[in-house]
Structure 1
Amino acid sequence: MARILIAEDEETLRTLIVRGLSQDGHTVVAAADGAEALDVLVQQQGRFDLLLTDIRMPLMDGIALALAVARDYPDVIILLMTAYADQRERAHGLEALIHDVISKPFTLAELRVAVDEALAAGGKEAASDRP
């Protein structure tokens, strides 16, 4: 199972993601924005397999968070989420640092597939790999 950090400012979506990925057996920690997520990463010394972050958030957005994580914790796989085309464009050019950008809205099944693919690409155990 993977250790996953979620950074999402929308509480309802954050709760749904945490619940869904936890049901898959992952250890999931949630943060309400990028600054809080970065604090968690520092406290946990980067011991996460995957960062799933919204791009558009207050205080520190997902792009700034992804850049900091890629610099300080290069083994953490990064998945971005956004509902905005212009935000997706901001992620263009970060392909070397991030695994993918997930478009909102998405279903829990679509999220699970994206997380499993990211973990598999990063050499981590994905939920679909379990017996």
Structure 2
Amino acid sequence: MPRLVVVIDDERPIRDLVSSLLTEEGYPVRTYSSALAALQDITSGAVQPDVVLLDMRMPGMDGPQFADALRGYSSEIPIVVMTAARDARQWAEAINAAGYLPKPFDIDWVLDTLEGIIGPPDVSDGASKFALLPLAPRLHGVLRDLGDRGGRALTHPPMAAPA
């Protein structure tokens, strides 16, 4: 089953960047500009995230308020703090987050954090960057011959050196 990542950030460029990055890596993503809208979808069962990437400073419901409300609904959904504040680690500790991502993002840190929390993306759903293609019947023979000849494919007998 695909591991759904919910991204909550009031800044559209951040949402788009994170969504694009994670989608390219094979994670399904749902984005929200409002923590309240995300909370409503999660608590109604319309969205069932495996992890929430949460901005801390937003208008309306901010990150800590969202985290408190989500914990009242389910303590099983991990939250990862996203913030440009220098005290990202303190924010994460304050809401008992599974991790934190300081802005601007380091792409490898984002991916490593997600893989550490929910595992790698599920590539069995066709999101893989690579696909196995069936071999043409003639190619089977060529590969077999290469194996039989130690990697050398000869179509003509070796020519004798000129005298």
Shift in Å, 1:87: 6.2
Matched residue SS, 1:114: helix
Number of residue pairs aligned between Structure 1 and Structure 2? 124
1:117 aligns with 116
Q: Which has the larger radius of gyration?
A: 2
Percent identical: 24
Rounded Cα–Cα distance in structure 1 between residues aligned with 2:18 and 2:25: 11
Shift in Å, 1:110: 1.9
Rounded Cα–Cα distance in structure 2 between residues aligned with 1:44 and 1:55: 23
2:105 aligns with 106
2:29 pairs with 1:28: yes
TM-score normalised according to structure 2 size: 0.66
Q: Which amino acid aligns with 1:118?
A: I
2:121 pairs with 1:127: yes
Please state which structure has a larger fraction of its residues in strand: 1
Tell which deviates more after alignment, 21-30 or 85-94.
85-94
Rounded Cα–Cα distance in structure 2 between residues aligned with 1:128 and 1:114: 16
Matched residue SS, 2:26: coil
Tell which deviates more after alignment, 2-11 or 103-112.
103-112
Shift in Å, 1:35: 1.1
1:52 aligns with 53
Q: Which amino acid aligns with 1:110?
A: W
Rounded Cα–Cα distance in structure 2 between residues aligned with 1:128 and 1:37: 23
Shift in Å, 1:43: 3.4
Q: Which amino acid aligns with 1:24?
A: E
Structure 1 residues 64-120: Cα deviation after superposition (integer angstroms, max 9, x where no partner): 11111122022211111111135653443333xx1012111112222111111121x
Q: Select the structure with the greater relative contact order (CA < 8 A; seq sep ≥ 6).
A: 1
Rounded Cα–Cα distance in structure 2 between residues aligned with 1:109 and 1:86: 20
1:122 aligns with none
For the 8 Å contact 1:46–1:73, the answer to whether it is kept is: no
Matched residue SS, 2:82: strand
Q: What residue ranges of structure 2 are gaps of 5+ in the alignment?
A: 129-163
Tell which deviates more after alignment, 4-13 or 21-30.
21-30
